[in-house]
Each structure stands twice: as C-alpha cells, then as structure tokens.
Chain A
C-alpha cells in the first residue's frame, strides 16, 4: 500500500506538468457536467419549485384535465366536498395565470406566474420577510425572492401588474405584504395573491366582475397523516366525483415541458459523463501502453500486481480530484457572471451527484488501463513477453 502510494505520488510529482494539463482537461469536463447539473436543477426547479415545496400532500385536478394545470377547473363546491373527506385536514384552492410586472424605471415587463391562493390555507407560501396574506379580496401580494431581487421590492412597496382583459391592456397596482423564498412555477418567478384578486387580475377574454369564491385550477390537500397519501388518494377519488388526486411529485412531473426538459438534460449529462469516462480512460490507457516495459520490469523484480494496480488507481483518483477541485470554483465564478434570468441553480446534492458521477465514470474509464497493466507479463523485461 505504502509502496503504491510512493510510486504514484513520485510519478505525479516528477511529471507534474503532464498531470496538471490532464487535470485541466478533467476540470473542463467537470465544468460541463456541473453546468448541465446546475442548469437541469434550474430549469426543472423553474417548473416544479412551487409545487415541490407546497405544504400539501395531495393535489386534486379535474379528472379530464390529464393533470395539466391550465386545463383543470375545480369548482368551489368540490373544494368543500374534498374538505369533508375523512383524513383531510385542510384544503386550499390554487389558480394559475401568467401576467407581467411593469418595471417602473424602464417600463420593461417581467413575466411572472400569478398564483391565486386562499389566505392561511395550503398553497400559500411561507414568508421570509413581511407577513402572509390576510384578506380574501385585497390588492395585496406575496412575491417570491426572485421577484424581490430582480425588481428590488420589499414589504410595503407597490408594483404594477399588466394583464390583457377584453382585448386591452389593464394595469393593477399591488402592495407587497411579504416575500417568500424562491417559488418559481412554469419557469417564471411567482406572485401570490388571494384567489378572488387573482380572478380580478388574470388575463381573460371578457371583462367580468370578480367572484368571492371563484373556481380554481387545482386543490391543495393537507392530510392528517401524510404517510397515508396513497389510501387517502384512493378514498378521495372514490368520494368526490370527477377529480383525480396525485402526490406532489406526480403533479410537477406532469407539468408541460418537465419530462422533455428532463430527458434532454439526461441525454446531455450522459454524453458528458461518457466523454469524461472516455477521456480519462484514454489518457491512462495511453500512459499504461507507454509504461509497458517499466511495468514488466517492476513485475519481474517481484512487485505485486496490487501495487501496480493501486498506483494507477491513485493516479486516476488524484487526477479526478484535482480536476474537480479546479472545476468547482471555476464553475461558481462562471455562473456568478450569468444574469439572474439564466436558470442556473447550484445545489449541494445535485453538485455532489454530478461529481460522484465523474468519479464513477473516471474510475470505470481507468479500469481498462488497470486491467491492461495487470495483464503485462514480467517476461517483457527480458524481451520475451508477447
């Protein structure tokens, strides 16, 4: 073991320019893999973030809507029926629309998801600053952290929402009651308003008077026992007509674009990892081929196979560790230079999985050279080996 470490470290030290250059290559591949992972998290999070973080266990859709939020319509009475199902602790209607916020200084528009929620019910996001919604019908809103950052808004500020109603643009002024953490939905930052305010502001073909309890798209259901999601789902679908209930994961995975984005990113990630495996494997295979006489000599003088294999393995691990160590600050530096609108989200778990994948692929690529070095015959040293 010590001899293997000695051999590996001496080789790296005495050929440090070669290993540095190769570590830089690994770093570039690692940047690519980390970037794809962060982009994936950003894009998928842009669709799923709000639903993923909901304080509800089930989401109830109109049964013919095929879990498409905008196609689903759940009436107020149905919400009541859902609330009466045993095991249901509380419900909250959710309604979704897209509007724009007018930036006061430049008159540019920031597209946001306008989400109607019932104050104090499942679906209203927790605030990190300010306070939650208090009244059922008020020109008040909770904005998510992205809106606050992009527009420089804070509790008590006012902002203007632009929407199209009856063929013309209508402007509504809302007051910020609170700021939540990032709650993106449909790839946009979100603004939460009481559901009747939502009904007033949302884009619509005809100007109509807002209702006190309008129909919503989806109902968020909080259960007494979150562990009983499946049985509660079946019970709910049996007791309430014309609805389909699903857990949060199924709900956000059914959002339009989610699957296609995920599969596109999976293909990119697979290719990047394959490239990393091939590059790392190729480098060490070439190096092993160059070292055949030396390996033969080492074996002839009695070096055990495990020392030869372990030395190569240490070199592979060193190269990957060095590459990732260079890549991580590089990636953070690069991503910090992107505008906030670029959906890059660094998350420890995602980054760790990406780095882990690089290690696995690098190791698998390197196995070929380790296997080759194990098959080198000591007779090579005497010029007799094949």
Chain B
C-alpha cells in the first residue's frame, strides 16, 4: 500500500466557529496508480494534498504513506520524509530561480545526499525524456510555463519517490501544454511505479488518471472509475441528472456553448 488516508478530519477554529476543511475523508492509492482529485474551490482538495504530504497535521484520522504514519512525526522528521519519499509539483513558484533546469532537478539529489555523476546523468536523462535536452543549463526565467512544469516534474521524480503530489500542475498552461504535461506525469508515474495524486480543476486532464475522486465541502463525494463515470464528466446533461456539478464542468460547458 503506497498511501492510505483513514477518516481524516482537518478542522480550523476561528473564534467560536469551527470549519471542517476536510471532513472524514478516506482514500487509498496503490503503487503505479495515478489519481485525480477534483472539486470546486473550497472543497478541500489542496488541504487534503497538504495533509497527505505531511505539511499539515490532521485533527483526527490517520495518514499512512509507504506504511508510515505522518501525523506522529516531528517537523524535522516529516521534512526528511518528504524529501525522501514525496515528489512535489506545484501550481507556481516551482523552481529555484537562480538554479538552472538541471540544477533544479539535481537539488533533490543534493538534499538526499545522493548527488554524484550517476545522479547527474539520471537528471539529464529525465530532462531529455521530457523534451528539455536543449534547456538543461537554462535558468527558469528563460523557460516557458510548460517547460518549467516539466522541469518540476523531473525534479519530483528524480529520486523515485513513493508518492508524487501535483497541485494544479496545468493551471497556467494552454491546453496543448497542459495535456503534454499531465500525459508525461501520468506515464512516468506508471513507469516508476510511484503513486500519484493530481489536484485539478481542469476536467480535460482527468482522462489521464486511473481514478477520479470528487471532493465537496471537505468530504469525498464519490470515486469515479474511468470506465463508468468519465463519460458522465464528458456529458454535462448527464452530470446535471446525477447532481454532480461539483466539478464545475456544466458551468464551463454552458459558457462555451453560449
């Protein structure tokens, strides 16, 4: 089991008011499986991602990554766990601006004291695989948004992590680049046998996931397997019938048809 979240609750207290950002959410993920976490803004997707990464402690419930409970670890141990076992891709500010593309990928190796000639070759190979062989020495500001995301993907995969987490990796990309990035991410996760979770608003991207989890108001609303329900996601009318417009797809479809 790569990841298992059981009855996770994350509460925020402001004055007397208590808000459940994540409310009794459970999910599991196997090695080599790529999961899309979808839902409208405020549904708790990103908070769930932060909990899975050990960036937040759950109010209750447990999260096991690679069999290890994150909540009980001290901050320094969680940081060590993240750099060894979790690969991250963020929506923005993914790269260290003063490191080249290659150095950004190598950073994970340096942090894990695994940087050597072999590591450098692996970093180059990964960037080549992602179509960035001409850009290895280029600084992030000289790369396009899609290229930067691909460098971030390479960094998240360089040390073969147990879990790969991607927060809105296509948010700032055009459709062509977005598809390219997600397709690459999914393929590499499958090849490496890591478990991957991608938070996204973009329904066009869920087709590359093995499963889709919808979240609403902090709860796991439902799990959709590709065979049955992705057709629903592609059909706004059907989505209305089942009352699952939580993905925001209908609104988008209406806007485009208008």
Contact = CB atoms under 8 A, between A and B. Distances in A.
A15 B98 contact: yes
A382 B55 contact: yes
Interface stretch (B78-86, B119-127, B128-136, B177-185): B78-86
Contact of B82 (A6, A301, A307): A301
Contact of A383 (B46, B56, B107, B111): B46
A28 interface: no
A316 B50 CA distance: 32
Given A6-B110, A294-B93, A302 B46 contact: no
A249 B240 CA distance: 94
A303 B90 contact: no
A293 interface: yes
B4 interface: no
A171 to B, nearest CB: 73
A240 interface: no
Nearest to B47: A384
Contact of B98 (A11, A293, A296, A297): A11
Contacts of A305: 76, 79
Interface string A228-266: 000000000000000000000000000000000000000
A382 B90 contact: yes
Given A301-B83, A302-B86, A304-B80, A3 B110 contact: yes
- Which bracket fits the contact residues of A? 20 to 34
B157 to A, nearest CB: 12
Given A14-B98, A379-B56, A300 B90 contact: yes
For A10, A300, A301, the residue with the greatest tally of chain B CB atoms inside 10 Å of its CB is A301
A304 B80 CA distance: 7
Interface residues of B, number: 33
A301 B152 CA distance: 11
A15 B46 CA distance: 33
A14 B137 CA distance: 12
A366 interface: no
A298 interface: yes
Nearest to A377: B55
B23 interface: no
Interface string A349-386: 00000000000000000000000000000110111100
Contacts of A139: none
A384 B46 contact: yes
B49 A294 contact: no
A10 B84 contact: no
A7 B96 contact: yes
Contacts of B49: 382
B94 interface: yes
Contacts of A3: 107, 110-111
A11 B111 CA distance: 17
B249 interface: no
A382 B167 contact: yes
Given A301-B111, A304-B80, A381 B98 contact: no
B99 interface: yes
Contacts of A381: 88, 90, 93
A80 B94 CA distance: 87
Interface string A331-360: 000000000000000000000000000000
A41 interface: no
A7 B81 CA distance: 21
B110 A300 contact: no
B50 A382 contact: yes
A297 B90 contact: yes
Contacts of B110: 2-3, 6
A269 interface: no
Nearest to A293: B93
Contacts of A307: 111
A73 interface: no
Contact of B84 (A6, A15, A297, A302): A302
Interface string A199-211: 0000000000000
B93 A297 contact: yes
A300 B82 contact: yes
Contacts of B93: 293-294, 296-297, 381
Contacts of A379: 50, 55-56
B50 A304 contact: no
B180 to A, nearest CB: 22
B175 interface: no
A301 B109 CA distance: 12
Interface in A288-324: 293-294, 296-305, 307
Interface in B51-89: 53, 55-56, 76, 79-84, 86, 88
B42 interface: no
B91 interface: yes
A294 B97 contact: yes
Interface in B11-25: none
Contacts of B155: 301
B232 interface: no
B109 to A, nearest CB: 10
A382 to B, nearest CB: 5
B139 interface: yes
B94 A297 contact: yes
B131 to A, nearest CB: 23
B108 interface: yes
Contacts of A7: 96, 99
A280 B103 CA distance: 28
Nearest to A379: B55
A311 to B, nearest CB: 10
12 contacts: A2-B110, A300-B53, A301-B82, A301-B108, A301-B155, A302-B80, A302-B83, A302-B86, A302-B111, A303-B111, A379-B56, A383-B91
Listed from nearest, the 3 A-B pairs whose CB atoms lie closest are A302-B83, A302-B82, A14-B98
